[in-house]
Amino acid sequence: MRRLGPDDDPDRLYTVTGGRSRAADDRTLDLVTLIVSECEPAPGMQSEHVRILAMCRRPVAVVEVSAELRMPVSVVRILLSDLLDTGKVTARHPRPVTQAHLPDTDLLKEVLDALHRL
Amino acid sequence: MHSTASETERAGAAAGAPAQDAAASRTPLRATADNGLKIVIVGGFGVGKTTMVRSVSEIRPLSTEETMTRAGVGVDDPTGVEAKSTTTVAFDFGRISVNDSAVLYLFGAPGQERFWFLWDRLFSGTLGAVVLVDTRRLDDSWYAIDRLEAHGMPFIVARNDFGGPQHSPEQVREALDLSPDIPLIDCDARDRESAKTVLITLVDHLYALSVQETAP
């Protein structure tokens, strides 16, 4: 395993994404959108897709996929968009929270309870 | 290629990235998890952000990065070569399962100026933020506090105890130009109970704001 660093070879990331810098719907994948596999890896799939499908048998956040693949979040969003487009994974999006509209008090109570239990 | 890989390893080590096999150490989420929540711990270099994440996270903190390219703004370069700039921001994170549905992700994010144009992209929808400060380097925190206020992001300030000269809370509040309604507490980021208290203080603050907002 290696971690992507500032000196890493950009050609590899270019190849992984087929040269695309941005998928059409990448903004809809939040850091904490949870990804779930809907099928098993199959022969002939791109190796990163295979790893994602194996990793996401239980829900995994986009940012965790990024950390485990050791690729920037922007690259992982593109890989995930491919899998979403073909129905191989599904995405569970976070419930929207905006600054003008704080999360409801019930949810905050649940968070408080979880923190007290730590 | 080999030299590239070893340089990468060094870069990872220098950034303090844990050299673990992430997949092996990962505790899976519940199959029913469907609502990711975010809290961001922001502060200057070495202030203890990752330490605090580690103190409360149910997984060992992981690291990743986001790279963004933007067109140069106000760049007057006749060659056009530097018309775009690429910024890479590395950040650590951990998580706390809340219930069958919700899971809270804690992000440790750098507070430097060059990082802030990524804020909307990375941290929109964040519940709130903890500004972690080192009283020996208070000026590292001014910019983060200013930006959080500009973003309308609720936050608290936690002073990590590095054993330096003691300042009263009033002195710190004054030095940071912090309004009276923003909680300020002391903590030891290495200590689980203390780190818990910081997060509880933030969520209590969010709760109070939420009740205020929904009050008739």
Domain extent at residue B190: 38-65+83-214
Of B37, B67, B125, the CB nearest to A111: B37
For chain B, what is the domain count?
1
Tell me: pLDDT of B22 over 60: no
Rg, Å, chain A Cα set? 16
Is B25 within the bounds of a domain? no
List chain A domain ranges. 10-117
Is B100 within the bounds of a domain? yes
Q: In CATH, what number is assigned to the domain containing residue B50?
A: 3.40.50.300
A81 to chain B, any CB pair closer than 8 A? The answer is no
Is B2 within the bounds of a domain? no
Q: How far apart are CA B61 and CA B49, in angstroms?
A: 11
A51, A102 contact by CB (below 8 A):
no
How far is residue B47 from each of residues A63, A104, B26, B96, measured CA to CA in Å? 23, 32, 26, 22
pLDDT in tens, B90-143: 999 999 999 999 999 999 998 888 788 778 778 888 999 999 999 888 887 888
At position B53, the amino acid (one-letter code) is: V
What is the chain B residue with the closest CA to A74?
A: B66
Q: How far apart are CA B147 and CA B109, in angstroms?
A: 13
| CB contact (8 A) between residue B66 and residue A72 | yes
Is residue A35 helix, strand or coil?
Answer: strand
- Write down the pLDDT at residue A8: 56
Between A53 and B117, the higher pLDDT residue: A53
CATH number of A10-117: 1.10.10
Q: What are phi and psi of B149, to 5 degrees?
A: -65, -40
Is B10 within the bounds of a domain? no
Q: How far apart are CA A44 and CA A59, in angstroms?
A: 24
Give B113: exposed, middle or buried? Use CB within 10 Å, 0-12, 13-18, 19+.
exposed
- Write down the pLDDT at residue B19: 39
Contacts of A5 (CB under 8 A, 6+ apart): B7, B8, B9, B10, B11, B12, B15
Tell me: pLDDT of B65 over 60: yes
- Write down the pLDDT at residue B49: 95
Of A32, A59, A67, the CB nearest to B37: A32
B45, B114 contact by CB (below 8 A):
no
A73 to chain B, any CB pair closer than 8 A? The answer is yes
Residue B89 pLDDT class (50, 70, 90 cuts): confident
| CB contact (8 A) between residue B1 and residue A9 | yes
